[in-house]
Structure 1
Amino acid sequence: MAWPTALPLIAILRGITPDEVVDHVEALIEAGFDAIEIPLNSLDWRRSIPLAVQAAGKRALVGAGTVLSPELASEVADLGGHLMVTPNTDPATIRKARERNLYTAIGFMTPSEAFAALAAGAQSLKLFPSTNLGPSYIKAIRAVLPPDVPLLAVGGVTPDNLGQFLDAGCIGAGLGGDLYKPGQPVSRTRDQAAAFVKAYRSV
């Protein structure tokens, strides 16, 4: 398995609105991001996802996070998304996403959940909440996972601690509140995106 984009960092735009999504997507892409998710607990995500997909074109893999059912996975695909991120391990949702050609980054916490996700067809795994579990937990999990499975850290990742998760065995991370908070100016998104890219490339 291989991560499908050049930079294995997912920008999580939780709470983004249709009016602001295009400007923030452009800022992220300009900074070097090429994987973007709009969580389905965001306001009016059914409008935001197509706008983000159109703005990104072929420059970034765009899709949805917090996808909790097969029906929602299908809807994301219908809206033009190509990425599905979940906070949990639900085999039926994973299978539907693969059927609809969505790239899957599946949330897990335990080894049992990780292997259940892989058995259902998950293409990558996201350990959540990573900062609560810590790098030592990631090292232990990484030791039992197939070596070719991309592992992302999600939950509390900052430019300052990103390197710890990469050193522990993650290939990258999903970046939420430290990258984007609802209503923040595009300049803040641009600055934080640049900080994350710098931190990743300095490891």
Structure 2
Amino acid sequence: MQDEPNLPAPYQPHAGLMAAFDACRMIAILRGVTPADAVAHGHALYDAGFRIVEVPLNSPQPLDSIAALRAALPADALVGAGTVLTPARVLDVKQAGGNLIVMPHADLDVIVAAKREGLACVPGVATPTEAFAALKHGADGLKMFPAEQLGPAVLKAWRAVFPVQVPLLPVGGIQPDNMGPFLAAGASGFGLGSALYKPGQDAAATRSHADAFVNGWRIALKGVKR
């Protein structure tokens, strides 16, 4: 019988992140959204069941969008920023009302800054070395990026050495009809980008795409034996 893998330090994930994650295990990425449109898309996602919304910082006026979403969405929704590249930007996000930091990489200084400010943090990782270092410095979950390159086989190998309570979240190329192999390999959830939202689409399209992902998740989960 194989022993359960142990983490290098006590793992105490952000309570707000885990509560939102339990409600819906998919993170909506609104890359390119504008402050004028953010709330409509946020409501569309929330009504479809999503509880975590990320506005990447390379979007137009991202902090204004984060502030608008935080003011508009119910308290059980987690709102934050993606593409956070420096510790200084962590404080900017917090001041805008965000409570989640997502990154494409595993900059340990950004992770430490996020945890110091009481924010949830999900860094991007592409190797187990990066992943364990991120967890040691306080990461709440791991964004496996890019998922197209890593694939289900790598995810399955990772799951053998990372405790089940650590969220492994493939991001990149996820579609409503390709989640099954990742879930079977041990994915905890997903980050959803352009297949969910593209700049310029209306909120009705976002709701339609969100519904498709929720349905795809349910179908994929039925085929997975856990």
**Residue 113 (structure 1) aligns with:** 130
Q: Does 1:124 align with 2:147?
A: no
Of 2-11 and 175-184, deviating more is 2-11
**Residue 35 (structure 1) aligns with:** 52
**Residue 151 (structure 1) aligns with:** 168
CA deviation map 1:101-125 (0-9, x unaligned): 1111111000110011011100100
The structure with more radius of gyration: 2
Correspondences of 1:38-53 after superposition (within 5 Å)? 38-53=55-70
Distance 2:74 2:171 in 1: 25
Correspondences of 1:60-75 after superposition (within 5 Å)? 60-75=77-92
Structure 1 residues without counterparts, runs of 5 or longer:
none
SS at match of 2:113: helix
RMSD: 1.1
Q: Does 1:57 align with 2:74?
A: yes
Cα drift, residue 201 of structure 1:
2.2
Q: TM-score, normalised by structure 1?
A: 0.97
**Residue 204 (structure 2) aligns with:** 187
Match among 13, 17, 38 for residue 34 of structure 2: 17
Q: Which portions of structure 1, spanning 4 or more consecutive aligned residues, are displaced by more than 2 angstroms? A: 1-4
Identity of aligned residues (%): 49
Distance 2:51 2:64 in 1: 20
Structure 2 residues without counterparts, runs of 5 or longer:
1-11, 222-226
Cα drift, residue 45 of structure 1:
0.7
Number of residue-to-residue matches in the alignment? 203
Distance 1:84 1:26 in 2: 21
Q: Does 1:4 align with 2:14?
A: no
Cα drift, residue 164 of structure 1:
1.7
